[in-house]
Chains A and B, each alone.
Chain A
Amino acid sequence: MDDALRFSGIIKVLVRHGVDFILVGGVAAILEGAPVSTFDVDVVVPREDDRKRLLAALQELNARYLDPAGRHIVPDLVKLDSLRMNRLVTDLGHLDVLTSIGNGLSYSDLVGETETYEVDGSPIRTLKLAMIIRSKEEANREKDRAVLPILKRTLLLKQGRKESY
């Protein structure tokens, strides 16, 4: 974890550069009302999308790959086109740029399962809680399993209250 993490700052830069993305993971769960914590921003981008806007946004964020060996490796069009998971460190915190989540759920699989929230004046396409739960069940990592009970309880209470949050 770096000494800076600005959720809305990262989102703002992506929006300003016109990057097409779906907010997923912990920040999406928080926007959906789940009282969970997270230390990164996860987004899914279309596989076939033009990566130039994304690259420009990542350059503004001073993004480099998270590398246990400490090497300074910056994203480029080839890497962004070929890697399913880009785990990046930026000046505003950790950012994961993905082309799929769970068992290969891609942007086109997810886009119909989103809710749009206005974050600092910009509409942000956000994965719905039910789909976040599904993706975490499919990923089935220990950290995903740990958060599932509270995500499921939040979904149940949201549905029980029949309110549009």
Chain B
Amino acid sequence: MESLECYYGAVMSKTGETAPSPGQDDSAAVPFEPWSPGPGEDDDPLIFWMLSLTPNQRLEVAQDFVDSILALRRGRRT
């Protein structure tokens, strides 16, 4: 959350806007069109997110996935 607050702060300093209150719906100001992937683009958001991580963070993501699978397996045994 800290980075989000900084982001709002940076935007506010330039525009003089106030931070949106929790639950505020921005679609009133900007028409919202849901993202619809084209052929072969389904995984693009996931890929961009992965690419935004450092190599160590990417490895941690993979490790967390493995850990969750192993935890499920252990749960099944008991």
Q: Does A65 contact B (CB under 8 A)?
A: no
| CB <8 Å contact, B47 and A154 | yes
Does residue A69 face the partner (Cβ distance < 8 Å to B)?
no
For residue B44, CB closer than 8 A to chain A, the reply is yes
Q: How many A-B residue pairs have CB under 8 A?
A: 71
Contacts of B59 in A (CB 8 A): 7-8, 27, 30-31, 119
Q: CB-CB < 8 A to A38: which residues of B?
A: 62
Q: How far is the CA of A3 from the CA of B49 in the complex (A)?
A: 29
- Of B44, B65, B66, most buried by chain A (CB within 10 Å of CB) is B66
In chain A, residues 135-165, which have Cβ atoms closer than 8 Å to a Cβ of chain B?
149-150, 153-154, 157-158, 161, 163, 165
Please indicate the chain B residues that have their CB under 8 angstroms from the CB of A3 in the complex.
Answer: 70, 73-74
Taking a contact as CB atoms under 8 Å apart, the answer to whether A35 and B46 are in contact is yes
- Chain B residues within 8 Å of A117, by CB: 55
Residues of chain B touching chain A, judged by Cβ–Cβ distance below 8 Å, are 40, 43-44, 46-51, 53, 55-56, 58-59, 61-63, 65-66, 69-70, 73-74
Binding site for B on A (CB under 8 A): 1, 3-8, 26-27, 30-31, 33-35, 37-39, 117-120, 149-150, 153-154, 157-158, 161, 163, 165
Q: List 21 A-B contacts (CB under 8 A).
A: A3-B73, A3-B74, A4-B70, A8-B59, A27-B59, A30-B58, A30-B61, A33-B51, A33-B58, A35-B43, A35-B49, A39-B69, A117-B55, A118-B56, A119-B55, A119-B59, A120-B56, A149-B40, A153-B43, A157-B47, A157-B51
